[in-house]
Chains A and B, each alone.
Chain A
């Protein structure tokens, strides 16, 4: 099954709390694109959410901001929502596309190079 069939690119779950928030964070952690983390005070952070830890007394996510800098930790309690705003870099069927272009190149003649 191609990876792109599961993309959440463009998903905007809206304000979430409790188990729903945990679920959205899990999706964002699994997402290979930038997201926009919306804080309860309305501030937004665009970046790559690369880690989350729900086990400790103060669960948090870690984000590399698209603007650069060191990782930023944000407590679950401060998150209102997460929007899946960046391109899903794991989506797409590059392998299938490469096979198609390779076959086309072969059919076109002996010169290779795709």
Chain B
């Protein structure tokens, strides 16, 4: 696993503090969406389908920082939309780094080289560019519905690494993904020199154009088992090993929908990053008035039935590592040996 020790320590102490306070529900990663505008229209994405006047709006840096303060999570992920299209992205990131938040700036990297050359960012252990890469060139360009994006992303990654930035990749897997091709992709990303990779099966957003290629649970287990049952030592994953083992079918986890709360121009999104069932005006209201029992695999909610996405299950995996000796032992073993 490739999460830096300082970040592991920050997360570990945060989780232990929450457990000592007997806080049953706490956030781990704030999903901060400063805008919905994007320079791609990916087939599996249900995040950017809005009228023009909504796409032209964005949060102010002050609104973003207030949400970060209100939430209190030690990590902030900035998805979108495409955050590099946010006019104040440099200032927002600088303010978050100043507050010692671990920032994952999730980008398709089309604009990465340009923004780096503009000098918007400074390398920091708190900042990682999390570049969207859905596989090798052919698979990625198909997933983002535009040829040439893979090569642009690789160019952006190289430039960021050359300038001393932390770079990870995030990969969404859909039905039809080839385990062998994905293993080749892992090799290619490691050859590029990225710090680590994040993997997740996709979610079938009701608004996504392509509704036919989302992985169901059994297929997810089969694919991830094939891909990861004999991992190479050089493959580094920037996520909980227990989450990857869950995707392989080795753990039976329940969703933690409050683990990665989402804030955007509409407010605090209920109940999670993927479902939009309404908005709360404050984080407290979100936590206290959302009917959490109505979500997750065991709830019987049809929208949650096949979901195994990282934003709901990675918090469960991290919590499991601290909640039981079995979880702790499995995490340490996987971290030290690289075996899943």
A interface residues (Cβ-Cβ under 8 A, vs B) = 1-3, 29, 32-34, 47-48, 50-53, 55, 62, 64, 66, 68, 86-87, 89-90, 92-96, 98, 102, 112-114
Contact = CB atoms under 8 A, between A and B. Distances in A.
Given A50-B266, A95-B145, A114-B146, A86 B209 contact: no
B9 interface: no
Interface size grouping (class) on chain B: 20 to 34
Interface stretch (B47-55, B193-201, B218-226): B47-55
B49 A48 contact: no
B180 interface: no
Given A95-B209, A98-B43, A89 B148 contact: no
Contacts of B49: 32, 89-90
A81 B53 CA distance: 23
B285 to A, nearest CB: 10
Contact of B145 (A52, A53, A94, A112): A94
Nearest to B53: A66
Given A51-B267, A113-B147, A114-B147, A94 B51 contact: no
Interface of B: 41, 43, 46, 49-51, 53-54, 57, 142, 145-148, 206-212, 265-267, 278-279, 289
Nearest to B211: A1
A48 B52 CA distance: 10
A87 B209 contact: no
A64 B54 contact: yes
Which of B51, B142, B145, B148: most chain A Cβ within 10 A?
B51
Contact of A48 (B43, B51, B207): B51
Contact of B53 (A2, A68, A87): A68
Given A2-B211, A51-B266, A93-B209, A87 B43 contact: no
Given A3-B206, A64-B57, A98-B43, A50 B279 contact: yes
A89 B52 CA distance: 9
Contacts of A33: 51
B266 A32 contact: no
Contact of A90 (B46, B54, B148): B46
A3 B57 CA distance: 25
A65 to B, nearest CB: 8
A48 B50 contact: yes
B58 to A, nearest CB: 12
Contacts of B208: 3
A101 to B, nearest CB: 10
A16 to B, nearest CB: 20
A89 B51 contact: yes
A57 B95 CA distance: 39
Nearest to A47: B53
B54 A48 contact: yes
Contacts of B207: 3, 32, 90
B236 to A, nearest CB: 31
A47 B89 CA distance: 27
A112 B51 CA distance: 31
A59 B206 CA distance: 26
A87 B211 CA distance: 20
Which of B49, B147, B265, B279: most chain A Cβ within 10 A?
B49
Contact of B148 (A34, A86, A113): A113
Nearest to B291: A55
B53 A48 contact: yes
A113 B43 CA distance: 17
A96 B208 CA distance: 12
A87 to B, nearest CB: 7
Nearest to B289: A55
A51 B278 contact: yes
A47 B170 CA distance: 34
Given A50-B266, A64-B57, A98 B145 contact: yes
